[in-house]
Structure 1
């Protein structure tokens, strides 16, 4: 039963999450905001209203490549969202500014996630080397080391969830308080951000179940050694 659930989670849920975000973004990128503001203007307005004049807003290449860079103190928006006037672009721009506000407020989960980056990167890059050698060579010590390293990446995925949820919450509060969207557009923007949040939930679920699967493999090898 575990493996049936496992395969459902690692195969079906990520595909469903991706289809939801593509569908929501595609639909509401065709709906133009009544404010007439571009994504760049939305980002700049929210930043300025929160006193974050030092945070820059830049265009970045790629599709849905939008992100906030805490090191450079810069909100980067993909070309479509930077220049576009859509509800989807407004939602995405506000979400990224939500991260900038988190950074300015020293939001605890964002600070924790940032501190986990080196460990998570190392764990993601090295864990499978130890896991594969441990499994094929029947060396439980190496397998356990790989699992521990993978756990660092899983922890990063889990900590990412409250960071993303909070950024979306801040985004919705800002676009409503500043009158950037109408009542109908508010609901549409929420749908875009909820769909995007689902991709993070899917990624975390896959990571957790992959870790659990390897723990089961490890305990099985331990019993065989006994």
Structure 2
């Protein structure tokens, strides 16, 4: 199933002093989704934002809020982020004892469910979960910080997951996050990704550059 490429700017690279303005700016510049990285200083070595910030940002865009929960244990916070305005909730299999139950909880909250695979997480974790998922997120860096370099081995993982999605016959988004720029975006698109998370590559140059940055990530000329 061929889908248009969706660009999901990660607000981790935005100006935190004016997050609402930044969300509006990338929305107007052509972003498809708004990617929100939630980190707890425990599951990953950084602390970012919680549900109160998601709720505060929700009025600034009608685009899909793509919320990536890098927190453990994760189950206790699913309802808060759902109520705050998340449209997609993505979790890690390592973030709780019962991943299938976590996915079921997300669906019961009326949200799309995503599963994120760290660079060292094998694709066989999908064997008994893929039929429950709306999105699979491949981390092409180790999660925790923005601005890292793309890990080339993840291209094989993207190709493997693309085959799994196609074989399932289900409408599952294949998203990639980490080291995405105009060069690596082409490589991950060729490998089968259809949604790209980009932080510094989107927000570099300030608001006047956002539309050009997003077009470059799509492989388009402006």
**What TM-score do you get using the length of structure 1 for normalisation?**
0.25
More helix by share: 1
Structure number with the bigger relative contact order (C-alpha 8 A, sep ≥ 6) is 1
Larger radius of gyration: 1
TM-score normalised to the size of structure 2?
Answer: 0.25
